[in-house]
Structures are given as structure tokens and as C-alpha cells.
Structure 1
Amino acid sequence: MTEPTTTGRRAEQGVAVRLTDLRRTYAGVNALDAFSLDLAPGEFVALLGPSGCGKTTALRCLAGLEDPDSGTVTVGGRDVTGIPTSKRDMGMVFQAYSLFPHMTARQNVEFGLQLRRQPAERRRRRAEEMIELVGLSPHIDKYAHQMSGGQQQRVALARALAIEPQVLLLDEPLSALDAKVRVQLRDEIRRIQLDVGTTTLFVTHDQEEALAVADRVGVMRSGHLQQIAPPQELYSAPVNDFVADFVGVTNRLRGAVSDGSAQVLGGAVALLPGSATSGEVVVLVRPEHVTVQPAPDGGGNAAVVSASFLGAHGRVIAAADTGDQVTVQVAASAVGGFPPGTRVVLTPTGEPALAVSAD
């Protein structure tokens, strides 16, 4: 497991979190199975995985909304496993905005401070600071129905941060928003988290969100943490085929391993640690790690199935003569050069890849 690391101001402001050997069972199904996770002070960790993998259960156990069957939850060196949610000093933002409809943005942000019996002037000043932090000062006196979904979620974030929580918990807070607003708000959440320095656990099923904002990303499956690592490491060096398939697009290409490398598409691919070391294998190759060129005289080793323009880049899907379907990332300007049926040469770039047994 990659160790948590933070630097400077974030480490000074944040608090360490440790989930140790958590187990949680529902109707005989293990939602969490000996699940352990450490967050360094000020670190932003994302949990990623398919529905039912246990990521939200882990967050709810940390929040105190669920009691684990066994295991411990430690925050700042203090065991909080049996302590109720109201005494855990955590800010929470969920998929549903959950704003009080009869309150303005200011009043919603002040609510938690009011429960903590903060003086009126302190509440007013803190609410204004938080509303400014999320970029909603012009909307401070609006009600929920007068704001867009993205604006409401910003208010929910400001409300969670206003109480200066030790830990910020984000449970798929962007999934109800449209694509453009999601990107804007995810970047805003990261900016604010870096500025404030609160230790943060973010649960999502969206790999792009997780890779874009987190210091480390943990991929879960059936209650287990498969791998946790910085985004670039997770993408470029997956520890197993589940992680490789779940994070990003992956080609599964048949080949053979010999002399420490895999032979695939007529080229050699270096092997990542944990790869099969001999025999017939399936090599997990990213689309950007394969090149495609029109074949002279109708030769080559594949035929184009389709070519798509995706804005910043293009995608060519080809049927290899081996029977494999191969996705290749190309420059957007190159898409028009690969009409369906075109014979092409597919070549691996040689970037290290994971090879798993073909059995």
C-alpha cells in the first residue's frame, strides 16, 4: 500500500484518520471485509469502485452513521468507534443537497454554528467567509429554489466547512449535476480543500473525478481495498486486472511471455510487477500505448472498425487479425484518415503493462 503523504500547511491543519480491520455485514453479505485505510493529516483520499463494493459503507463507518461489526475508527489518535456522529466533529456533503428550503444560503451555512451556540456576530462573519470561499457572495440571501443545483451544492459544502471540521466527508456530491457543472465544482472542491487543509475522504464511482482531485485513490471490490496509490501510479501500474479494467480504458490483448516481456501485436511490451512470467497471457494495454498507421498495399495486422472524434483527441477501434478488438487513442486531426475497413498496422509503444494468465 502506498503510504499517505502531505506537505506543509495541509499537514499542519489536518488530522490523521485510521480505519483498522473494519467488518460490516448485511444479510450475510460482507460490505466491508477486514478493510483498513490510513489518511495522513490534510490528505485528500478518494474511494472508487462499482456499486456495492463497500466504499459508502466505509465512509458511513467513519462518519458514525454505521457501526462496524468489528474494527476501529481512529481520528487524531482518538478511538471514536463507539462515539455518535454528533460528537465526531465531521463535515458531510452528500449527493442530495439537503438544504433547508425555508432558509437562505447564509442561514443554511450558519445552522451548524448555531447548534454549537456560536455568537450571532461570529456566525454571520463565518458564513460570509465560507460563502465567499465557494464563490457565492452575490447569492448569499437567496433560498434554495432560487439557485441552480451546482450553487446549492456549493452552499452545502460551505455549510460543512463552516464548523471547521476535523474531517470532511464527500459522498458522491457531484453525481446529480450535469457534466460541465461537475467538472467546475470538482475543481472548486479541490481548490478549497487545498486552501483549508481539511483531511478529506471522497467517495465516487466516477474514475475521472477521483483521478482529478485526490492525492491518493483507493479502488475497492467486494469490501476489499484492491489498491491505493497516487492517481498516476494507479493508472500506469495497476496491481491486478480488476484495477486496470476499472480505471481508464484498457485493451485486453492475447500474447505470450518470454524473457521478461510479452509479445503482442508483433511487438514487445515490458511487464509490470505482478505479471505472469511465462506462457499464454492477456496483456492489459492502454489505448495511448498503441500506435496505428495506414498499412501500405492493404497489408497490416488489423482493419478499422470505427473512428471517433472526441474533441481533445480521437479514438480508433480496430479488429486485429488475432481476433482482438483494439482501441487506440489518436490526435483529433487524424481521425479522418481512418475510415472503416482501412487496413492498418497496430504497434505497441513498449510502455510497461500488466500481463495476466490467459487461463
Structure 2
Amino acid sequence: MTAPTTPTREGLEIRLEELKRSFGGVTALDGLSLTLAPGELVALLGPSGCGKTTALRIVAGLDEPDSGRVVVGDDDVTDVPASKRDMGMVFQAYSLFPHMTAQQNVEFGLKLRGRDSRGRRTRASEVLELVGLSAHKDKYAAQMSGGQQQRVALARALAIEPSVLLLDEPLSALDAKVRAQLRDEIRRVQLEVGTTTLFVTHDQEEALAIADRVGVMNQGRLEQLDAPEVLYSRPASAFVASFVGLMNRVPCQVSGGRADVLGRTVATLPGSVDAGSGAALVRPEQMSVSEAAGGADGTVVHLSFLGSYSRITVARPDGTELLVQVPASTVPGLRVGSPVSVSLLAGELLVSPDLA
């Protein structure tokens, strides 16, 4: 992969201000406010029906908010038609014209904007090279793989040099290997071009890998917006903790901003219960296991070898189970039925007020 270069243009700030949108009696957006810095890539992540696609469609001008504003740079574009918003979009469906070559598909938007034929050819060649498809410029959609077609769709969106790039689940129709490759390619291109980008996905790995910041949405609201590593390690709510990554809910007692969890006392993160019983939210990699010489904390009931790491399910005497993820090299002697000790590695945890 080519290293990112200096952006070819400066991106614009995007502000979503108190957006509300309902469909019948269903609230899709409930006062969503979000600011994207110039040149930033923000991913909106969440379950189906959380409002992320509605937000993107409102930014694109394909839907209208019941209230609130969309501001791009210094311009309020809330009432501006989609065709006048200077935005590039890439959807899940490639939507290429089957009777056009890759080059012609990329030139199409430029033709609509009145660019002369020589300028269209030059610009299309530039963006096809940017996405690594110069050698395929004369191919039709049916002659290209899914990943290549999506690269053409990306090149077509970038060819018009939009002030904003909108990506709506662009990788979900691809197989896992191609999805990972194209995900990295989109990020490389976005960094090189410098376009402010809103990326909508339901795939948490995709969001964490590609974005400067990730926003987790739930029932039309933004639960948390943070850098990927902060979102993962310091979730602001039980919903975020459970939705992003794997999570154990371990019964514990809280007092004075500290929780007793798996034989250790650790600090609680903001948003935790103040006192009494709760459920500590513990990532699988925040624990370790070892064969128990004496009193065991539980018994191995399932063990999965996943290459560089292993996932171990430990059944505890109280009937609960723990999912632990450790380097594969640390568990050579463990097998189903092995009595084990479980140690907590985390120094601070979010404690939810319920065990459900």
C-alpha cells in the first residue's frame, strides 16, 4: 500500500445540528448533533434502525429533517437539493452503467458538470490510477470483480472533487478478504485526497479500522463519539461496551468508586454505578487463565484455536461463564475439562447497574 501523501485539497467542516426525523410514529433521529472536522473520516456505527443511514441521507439531501440543520463549511445546505450539494456518494450497490467502461463511468459525472472531453479523460485517468485501476479502464462492469467495481464507484465519486464524501455500507456486498483490502484502500485514498468523509456501517471492525472517530448510535441518538481506541477501551455506556467488541458481564460489588471483580479491586469508569451490586463489563483480553493447582475459579468448557490467539470459555461454580482471549502460546496444556484460575488484567472497568 502506498503511504499517504499530503492531501490534494483541504476538506470542509460538516455540522449536523439537532437533527430530528420521524417516519410515522417511529423516531429515526432524536436531536442528533455531530461535527466532522475538515478532512476527517467519521464512521457511524449501530444496529439496524438506529438512525445512521437516515443521518447520511439527510446530509446527502436525499431526505429532509423534521427539524435541525446541516451546515457544510459556512453554508447551511439543509434546503439545498442533492444535485447542488457538491457531494460524492458510494453505496452498497455499485450502480455502474453496464454499457459503459470503467473510464466512461468515471467520466459521467464530469460530463454532467460540463467538463470538456479532454479534461474528463485526464481527470478520470487520475482517479482510476489513484484507486489502482488504470489497467482496467476499458473494462465493462461485467468484466470486473465486485471489488474492482466498487473501486470504480469510488473513483466516480471522487472524480468530481466533492467537498464531502458519503459512504453508505459500501463494502457489505463483498467477501471478507476483498472487504478488508478495499477498506484499507478507501482509507488510503481518503487520506491522500483529504475529503471530509462520513462512513455508515454496521460492521464494528470496519468502523474501528478506518475512522478517525467512531460514533455509536442507538435509537436515533449518539451514545458516544470517540477515537476507536477510546471507544473500545473506555466505553461511555453499557450499550456501547456490549455493541463494540465481545464483552463479559461479571457480577461485582461497588463502593467508593472501586469494584471488587474476580478477586481484584479496580477503579470504575465514569458512568458506572456508584455503590452496591452491578455487572462489571470485562473484555475477553482483559483476563488471563492458567491451570489451577489448588482451588479453581472454573472449568474449561470450550476452547477455540484461532491462529495467534485462543478463546476459552470457562464455566464458574455460580453457573456463569467467562469468555477469555489469550495468546495461543500461553495455553498449550489446557483442554476441555481443565480446572483453571482466572486473573483480571484490567485496571479500570465500566460497571453497569444491571446483570440482564
Task: Give TM class, smaller chain.
Answer: over 0.9
Secondary structure, aligned partner of 1:245: helix
1:351 matched to 2:347: yes
> Equivalents in 2 of 1:121, 1:20: separation in Å?
41
Return the offset for 1:187. 0.3
8 Å contact 1:10–1:41 — kept in the other structure? no
Asked whether the 8 Å contact 1:252–1:324 carries over to 2, the reply is no
- Aligned equivalents of 2:168, 2:207: Cα separation in 1: 12
Map 1:35-114 onto structure 2 (within 5 A).
Answer: 35-114=32-111
Q: Return the alpha-carbon distance in structure 1 between the equivalents of residues 236 and 13 of structure 2.
A: 26
- Offset at residue 10 of structure 1 (A): 5.3
Q: Alignment partner of 2:348: what SS?
A: coil
> Residue 331 of structure 1 is aligned with which of 323, 327, 330?
327
Identity of aligned residues (%): 62
Give the secondary structure class of the aligned counterpart of 2:229.
Answer: helix
In the alignment, is the contact (CA less than 8 A) between 1:95 and 1:176 conserved in 2? yes
For 2:258 and 2:338, locate their aligned partners in 1 and report how far apart those are by CA, in whole Å: 30
Letter in 1 for 2:96: L
Q: Given the alignment of the two structures, is residue 234 of structure 1 paired with residue 231 of structure 2, yes or no? A: yes
**SS of the counterpart of 2:170?**
coil
Q: Which is further off, 254-263 or 329-338?
A: 329-338
Instruction: Name the CA distance, whole Å, in 2 between partners of 1:339 and 1:333.
Output: 14
**Secondary structure of 2:335's partner?**
coil
Using the size of structure 2 for normalisation, the TM-score is 0.96
Q: Distance in 2 between matches of 1:180 and 1:31?
A: 33
**1:23 partnered with 2:24:** no
- Cα distance, 1:357 vs structure 2: 1.4
1:11, 1:105 → 2: CA distance?
23
Does residue 225 (structure 1) correspond to residue 222 (structure 2)? The answer is yes
- Superposition pairs for residues 1-359 of structure 1, below 5 Å? 13-297=10-294, 299-358=295-354
Contact 1:309/1:335, CA 8 A, preserved across alignment: no
Q: What is the distance in 2 between the residues matched to 1:244 and 1:62?
A: 28
> Take 1:11 and 1:174, find their aligned partners in 2: how far apart are those partners?
25
Alpha-carbon distance between aligned partners in 2 of 1:132 and 1:118, rounded to the nearest angstrom = 19
Q: How does the TM-score come out when normalised to structure 1?
A: 0.95
Verify the 8 A CA contact 1:308 1:335 in the aligned structure 2: no
Asked whether the 8 Å contact 1:18–1:38 carries over to 2, the reply is yes
Secondary structure of the residue aligned to 1:350 is coil
Cα displacement string for residues 142-184 of structure 1 (whole angstroms, at most 9, x for unaligned residues): 0000000000000000000000000000000000000000000
Q: Indicate conservation of the 8 Å contact 1:315/1:335, yes or no.
A: no
Deviating runs (4+, > 4 A) in structure 1? 8-12
Q: How many residues align?
A: 351
Inter-CA distance 257–11: structure 2 relative to 1 (3 Å threshold): farther
One-letter amino acid of the structure 1 residue matched with residue 175 of structure 2:
D
Q: CA deviation at 1:27?
A: 1.5
Contact kept? 2:9, 2:195, Cα under 8 Å: no
Matched residue, 1:5: none
- What is the one-letter code of the residue matched to 2:115? Q
Say which is worse superposed, 107-116 or 337-346, in terms of deviation.
337-346
Task: For residue 264 of structure 1, report the CA deviation from its aligned partner.
Answer: 1.5
Counterpart CA distance in 2 for 1:123 and 1:315 is 53
Deviating more after overlay: 251-260 vs 97-106:
251-260
Query: 1:55, 1:207 → 2: CA distance?
Result: 13
Q: How far apart are residue 335 of structure 1 and its match?
A: 4.5
User: Which string of whole-angstrom CA distances, capped at 9 and with x for unpartnered residues, describes residues 315-356 of structure 1?
Assistant: 111112233211111112344432111110011113211012
Name structure 1 gaps, 5 residues minimum.
Answer: 1-7
Where 1:138 maps in the other structure, the secondary structure is helix
1:85-106 C-alpha deviation (Å, 9 max, x unpaired): 0000000000000000000000
Unmatched segments (≥5 aa) in structure 2: none
